Structure 1
Amino acid sequence: MDLTPEQLEAELLGKTYPDNIRINQAAIVIEAAPFLHIQFDMIKRHKGDINRCAAWQRLKEFYAATQELDD
């Protein structure tokens, strides 16, 4: 996935998601809207390499999990 944070934000925000989206073996997103808001806020506050930002990793996992829902 080679999206920028801005592109990913445009892809993810404003959509309706089901409850309980598993993004990895250890994490399930129960409510997507608050999760996305917090993760994007954390990215905006992050200083340094975006690839070392935990929120960026979680958003990429969320994006991948929601793409699987569309299949």
Structure 2
Amino acid sequence: MIVMFGMVGVQGIQILQKADLNKNSNLLVASMSIGLGLGVTVYPQIFQHLATETQIILGNGVVVGSLA
């Protein structure tokens, strides 16, 4: 599992290196995706007032980051 997740992480970093982060729109999308994904992971109580089905979907940082 360590090797698999490490490879996924490295591939993500390589994709970010190819992206033109000098454009403000690309930088905004990348930073919002990473920030929201980490924010949901660190503070999962943010969705406590939503329906249970919505909490299950949005409680995953990967899902929130992908949607962003």
TM-score bracket for this pair, using the shorter chain length: 0.3 to 0.5
Question: With structure 1 as the length reference, what TM-score do the two structures score?
Answer: 0.31
In proportion to residue count, which structure has more helix? 2
Question: With structure 2 as the length reference, what TM-score do the two structures score?
Answer: 0.32
In proportion to residue count, which structure has more strand? 1
